[in-house]
Amino acid sequence: MMDTILGTINGVDFTIGETILELSYLLSAIFFVVGLKLLSHPESARKGNFYAAGGMLLAMITTILLHKNESGQAIGLANIGIITATIAAGGLVGSVIARKVKMTAMPQLVSFFNATGGAASALVALLEYPNADPSNTGSMLVTILGLIIGSIAFSGSMIAYGKLDGKVGDLTAGYMKYINLLFLILVTVTGTWLVVSNTPVEEMQWAIYSLFALTLVYGILFVMPIGGADMPVVISLLNSFTGIAAAMAGFIYNNQAMILGGILVGAAGSILTILMVRAMNRSLVNVLVGAFGGGGASADQVQGIIKEISVSDASILLSYSQSVVIVPGYGLAVAQAQHVCHELDNLLEGKGVQVRYAIHPVAGRMPGHMNVLLAEADVPYDKLVEMEDINPDMPNTDVVIVIGANDVVNPAADDDPSSPIYGMPIIRTHEAKNIIVMKRGMGKGYAGIENFLFFNDKTRMLFGNAKDSIQKLVTEIKTL
């Protein structure tokens, strides 16, 4: 029945099966759009995720059952067996990883899944290359672009995963800029040559594999120098790469659901990247080339005395305040101090202190990192206040506790034009009545510049591991 011919377009017959398949792709595409739309509102987000997943499942099933190649052959039974077994295996592994991994390892996990998508795109492009027509520049272009973007997304995300997991360090040497440029040129030249050479694909096999290897290396080199506070930018950028790579593959198969899904993700990822870059008042090129570091002349001339505070003094100060704002940063995540931090805020609320959290858009290592971290510790999300909304309240705040954040509270961004972070929007903690900074030591932040806040007259430092420090505060406040 699926093979019944419905009609003819340009001399080619089309069957009921083919029509149903295309209809299902249309439905999937609608599910993707609606799903993404619902995902961007807190009340409907979960439903949106289900819709998108439903669209994906539909497209997968109809493709397996109804897809035909150019000579009109359906997918064979043996092939269906292999595909189903592979999907079952991948689904099992994927859901186990997604369920078992600790919530605090979320940034790594998102990167890892992004890497797998990039790898799939690169492999599809690599395998479709022999079927491409070398005289057709357009189809060569999408195949090669799919390969390049997919492999960069793969190896880049794997490095990002390694960095977030603490397995890979940053490589910030100045010469990386030149090595990266060299590889970028090599990739571009090889890629362009493959697109325009018009040589039979059999003779170009070695070139396509070389390009694959080159781009994998380039992806690694591209992410190696980027680290710390710039991670949210890179992660959302790589996310958009995976989408674009999938869309390129959609071109190869002239598959509208793949094109639409891929481009949607590409556009959404680009927007998020721009949001992150804007939150740091920098340009994307600036982040990628890694111009942070060094610091202006005046940055090293900070004069002032660092004043420490004891746990008991800090406890008294906090207990007798009316309004406390906690500014979390990556240090909170590293110390795994989110639960004890919530305990502290409950304790203070019990004493009638208003406690809120001030969230900087690029605090942490991925977009929205602090929100996920604190949600895991059961902090209600109406207590998390975004930077623009909390800043006007700063002068009326009795105590600000800065936990493991540095550059996002550095007043140099406001008043030192020579500072590399000048112009970056910050949480204006220096306007509060008292500031307690929890820090492991006197090290500089990711940007490698002195933080004027630490030398402020109103600032008191509480040195030590954030988790231990907060634990001590909790114990002390309980005795008060």
Partner 1 sequence: MEDILIYFFTYKEAIFIIALSIFLGIEVISNVPAVLHTPLMSGANAISGVIIIGGIILVGHADVSQLSIELILGILAVFFGTLNVIGGFVVTDRMLEMFKKKKKK
Active site residues: 407
Q: According to the binding rule CB under 8 A, does residue 117 interact with partner 1? A: yes
Q: How far is the CB of 268 from partner 1 (least distance, A)?
A: 5
Q: For the sheet containing 354-359, what is the strand order?
A: 384-386, 354-359, 323-328, 399-403, 434-439, 459-463
Q: According to the binding rule CB under 8 A, does residue 143 interact with partner 1? A: no
Which of 239, 321, 434, 469 is close enough to bind partner 1 by CB under 8 A? 239
Applying CB under 8 A, the span of 7-15, 100-108, 170-178, 408-416 interacting with partner 1 comes to 100-108
Q: Which is nearer to partner 1, 45 or 185 (CB)?
A: 45
Structure tokens at 92: 């099992």
String of contacts with partner 1 for each residue 371-390, x by CB under 8 A: xx--xx-xxxx--x-x----
String of contacts with partner 1 for each residue 307-346, x by CB under 8 A: ----------------------------------------
| Three-state SS at 291 | coil
Q: Residue 196: enclosing H or E segment and its boundaries?
A: helix 176-196
Q: According to the binding rule CB under 8 A, does residue 10 interact with partner 1? A: no
Q: How far is the CB of 163 from partner 1 (least distance, A)?
A: 17
DSSP assignments along 381-397, one per residue = GGGEEEHHHHGGGGGG-
Question: Within positions 58 to 87, which residues make up the interface with partner 1, using CB under 8 A?
Answer: 59-60, 63-64, 67, 69, 73, 75-76, 78-80, 82-83, 86-87
Tell me how many residues contact partner 1 (CB under 8 A): 114
What single-letter amino acid sits at 215? T
Question: Within positions 416 to 435, which residues make up the interface with partner 1, using CB under 8 A?
Answer: none
Structure tokens at 362: 């690029």
Which of 5, 26, 53, 182 is close enough to bind partner 1 by CB under 8 A? 53
In angstroms, the CA 433 to CA 370 distance is: 24
Q: Which is nearer to partner 1, 140 or 461 (CB)?
A: 140
Q: How far is the CB of 81 from partner 1 (least distance, A)?
A: 9
Sequence length of the chain is 480
In angstroms, the CA 398 to CA 266 distance is: 44
Q: How far is the CB of 42 from partner 1 (least distance, A)?
A: 6
Range 11-44 burial, b when 16+ CB lie within 10 A, else e: eeeebebbeebbebbebbbebbbbbbebbeeeee
Q: According to the binding rule CB under 8 A, does residue 23 interact with partner 1? A: no
Query: 289 to each of 178, 225, 271, 332, how far by Cα in Å?
Result: 10, 8, 20, 28
Applying CB under 8 A, the span of 235-243, 313-321, 410-418, 438-446 interacting with partner 1 comes to 235-243
What single-letter amino acid sits at 422? Y
Q: How far is the CB of 80 from partner 1 (least distance, A)?
A: 7
Which of 2, 16, 27, 123 is close enough to bind partner 1 by CB under 8 A? 123
Applying CB under 8 A, the span of 38-46, 314-322, 399-407, 435-443 interacting with partner 1 comes to 38-46
Pairing of strands 5-9, 12-15: antiparallel
Q: According to the binding rule CB under 8 A, does residue 151 interact with partner 1? A: no
Which of 264, 327, 341, 403 is close enough to bind partner 1 by CB under 8 A? 264
Q: How many other β-carbons are positioned within 10 Å of the β-carbon of residue 54?
A: 15
127-134's contacts with Cβ under 8 Å and 24+ in sequence apart are 128/249, 128/252, 129/201, 129/208, 130/201, 130/202, 130/205, 132/201, 132/252, 134/197, 134/198, 134/199, 134/200, 134/201, 134/204
Contact 436/462 with Cβ under 8 angstroms? Answer: yes
Q: Which is nearer to partner 1, 65 or 179 (CB)?
A: 65
Q: According to the binding rule CB under 8 A, does residue 234 interact with partner 1? A: no
Q: How far is the CB of 254 from partner 1 (least distance, A)?
A: 6
Give the list of residues 6+ apart from residue 402 with CB closer than 8 angstroms, or none.
327, 329, 409, 429, 435, 436, 437, 438, 453
In angstroms, the CA 360 to CA 3 distance is: 58
Q: Which is nearer to partner 1, 328 or 361 (CB)?
A: 361
In angstroms, the CA 438 to CA 331 distance is: 9
Q: Which is nearer to partner 1, 244 or 311 (CB)?
A: 244
Applying CB under 8 A, the span of 159-167, 241-249, 392-400, 446-454 interacting with partner 1 comes to 241-249
Q: How far is the CB of 172 from partner 1 (least distance, A)?
A: 25
Q: According to the binding rule CB under 8 A, does residue 213 interact with partner 1? A: no
Q: How far is the CB of 1 from partner 1 (least distance, A)?
A: 20
Q: Which is nearer to partner 1, 176 or 235 (CB)?
A: 235
String of contacts with partner 1 for each residue 390-409, x by CB under 8 A: --------------------
Structure tokens at 405: 């954040």
String of contacts with partner 1 for each residue 271-310, x by CB under 8 A: xx--x-----------------------------------
Which of 3, 5, 26, 91 is close enough to bind partner 1 by CB under 8 A? 91
In angstroms, the CA 154 to CA 216 distance is: 8
